[in-house]
Amino acid sequence: MLAKYIHDVNADYRRIRQQIPLGPLHTKAEYDRAVAVLDDILDEIGQQDPHALADLAETLALSIEAYEDSHVAMPDASGPEILRSLMEDHELAQSDLPEIGSQGVLSEILSGKRDLNVRQIAHLAARFGVSPSVFMPLATGTTKSPTTKKRKMRVP
């Protein structure tokens, strides 16, 4: 019975892999495809938080991040630092990002007291033309505070 189940899962997994680049990304083409699929998933998720595809989005973001860590030289920065830098580069005030939430919510995000949700990440990625993985919280397995989590910063 288990052998049949594994056989069926293998066939399903191969079909999914033809559409979605799951697993380690080895080439720029695989990376570009993963970013495009993640963008599509975030568009599909929209403002639904939580959503059934959120785990898939996080998995893709982790694969994208791993590729970027080994192939793209970027200085270390946390999600709030990246957002703050992008806001400064584009001369934006907190009031210029109403799609993210109130100024109070944005203040909490920028101070590291609150993580961005999937809807907010989708809006920011589209607005600034960056990969959504830039804004995804890092999975560390430890209980570090959000302000200590660092990510490689890539500013367009």
Q: What is the mean pLDDT of the chain?
A: 81
* pTM of the predicted structure, to 2 decimals: 0.51
Query: pLDDT digit string (tens) for 41-92?
Result: 988 887 777 888 888 988 998 999 888 878 876 556 777 888 998 999 899 9
Domain enclosing residue 30, as ranges? 2-152
Beta-ladder partners of 152:
76
Q: How many domains does the chain have?
A: 1
Confidence band, pLDDT 50/70/90 cuts, at residue 96? very high
* Nearest CA among 34, 61, 53, 41 for reference residue 115: 61
Can you say how many angstroms the Cα of residue 89 is from the centroid of all Cα atoms in its chain?
Answer: 21
Confidence band, pLDDT 50/70/90 cuts, at residue 22? confident
